[in-house]
Amino acid sequence: MRFSVKSIIFTGFLAATLPAFAQDATEAGAGQGGPAVNSTVFRSEHISAVTSITEVFGRSQRLTAVVLEYDVPVANDGVSPAQFSVTDRNILRAYTNDSAAKDATGRDGRFVVLELDPNDAGAAVYAPGVDEPAQAVVSQVQPVKAVDGNSLAATETALINTRQQNLIVDDFRQFRFTDPETGLILNYNLFIPADHDASQKFPLVLFMHDAGVTGTNPLRTLEQGLGAVSFASPEDQAKHPSFVLAPQYPVNLANDASETSVYADITVRLIAALQQEYSIDPDRIYTTGQSGGCMTSIALNIKYPDLFAASLLVAGQWDTSVVAPLADKNIFAIVSQDDSKAYPGMSAIMDVLEQNGANVTRAEWNGRASQDEFAEAVAAIRAAGPDSNAYFVAFEKGTVIPEGESSEGGAGHVNTWPIAYAIPGVRDWLFEQSR
């Protein structure tokens, strides 16, 4: 039976790097009442376009920069945050560039880049309880010096962005898979490595999202956190060129009764279809997921024992009476001690695996550790169990909860994956595994 993969492709651009300094911005140009577009303009005498740039963080997508495109090159040493304002946002850095992208230092060019504080109250465009357009209202409030020495006057009316770049998210392509057995359609995102060609086999990472972003918008699984985009970042792709597959599930994928929906099996058939179309290494297919995606990874490992080379399991659990077949699998599991289900549930799974011959190494980590400390922690657990096929990490109690937030409800659960997927050494371990 033929597989059907129909493409619906959204194109975009790639943004870069994080902000670094601090400067207050004043509100300007939004007008009184009504949408901002009614009191702003798209272009001015010297500014032809405004682009907003978003970036994905642990549990959100945020507007982190605004780029103004001028009709003449602007001097890099002649711009500062004080010359601009972005409504309800703090400008951290201002510099020029020769393209509409962030840069570490800047250079003379037609583009003025305003890096914004990602911790501003209005920074999030997609997060739990937030779903807003990446709108930026910007004004040039002081003259700016052009490269030719001329002075570019302040804008009379605030401008609003007419373009948008989404860091890493735009590097994924969106498709629809028609399942040959059920006729059901599964939307999915696929990152294709830059140097992909038929002469070389590449790994594939499957990321399955949690129940929180269940729905039909195919971009939600990319925008909600780092689970997919971390593997597609320029840094990770430089080390581990790979396909990254992120399906968008229209219904819940798994439940606490240790059941999966039909879309779990559809995902396996989707992988088979992609193997027919792309040069995917069958010995280096990996699965990862958070919460329900973690649980589905466990279920698929049991049902399809020869499919995955390794699994990164984040904040999940499963019926321990059926997990014994995982004893010989390569697993890196991460939970929080504040997670009332995943912590005891995954602990019990590891006990069963050990009883069935798995070599399990356990560790407790501080969820507030620095990147250097996490790198040391990864090295330490691997050194403690050089022959282990399963590693089990529990973030210490209280260390995944953001400062000032309650630990009640599911806080210990949902705050596990922003940390887990931000640890490069864990992803490095995954790519070292082969079937």
pLDDT digits (tens, 9 = 90+) for 181-210: 999 999 999 999 998 888 899 999 999 999
Could you please report the per-residue DSSP string of 125-172? EEETTEE-----EEEE-S-EEBTTS-EEPPPSS-EE--EEEETTGGGS
152/143 Cα distance (integer angstroms)? 5
**Residue 202 to residue 204: CA distance in whole angstroms:** 7
Residues 6+ apart with CB under 8 A from 386: none
DSSP structure class, residue 295 = H
Dihedral sign of CA atoms 401, 404, 405, 408 in order: positive
The span from the CA of 274 to the CA of 188, in Å, is 11
Q: How far apart are CA 206 and CA 218, in angstroms?
A: 15
Confidence band, pLDDT 50/70/90 cuts, at residue 33: low
> What secondary structure does DSSP assign to 357-420, as a single string?
T--EEEEEE-TT--HHHHHHHHHHHHHH-TT-SEEEEEEPTTSSSPTT----TTHHHHTTHHHH
Domain boundaries for CATH 3.40.50.1820 within the chain? 170-432
- Kindly report, as residue ranges, where domains of CATH 2.60.40.2180 are found in the chain: 36-166
Q: According to the model, what pLDDT value does residue 303 have?
A: 98
Q: Which residues pair with 287 in a beta bridge?
A: 206, 311
Which CATH code fits 36-166? Answer: 2.60.40.2180
The CA R_g of the chain, rounded to the nearest whole Å, is 23
* Two tokens, residue 33: 């009442």
How do residues 258-311 score in pLDDT, each as one tens digit?
A: 999 999 999 999 999 999 999 999 999 999 999 999 999 999 999 999 999 999
Summarize pLDDT for 214-253 with one digit per residue, the tens. 999 999 999 999 999 999 999 999 999 999 999 999 999 9
The CATH H-level (homologous superfamily) assignment of domain 170-432 is: Alpha/Beta hydrolase fold, catalytic domain (3.40.50.1820)
- Give this prediction's pTM: 0.90
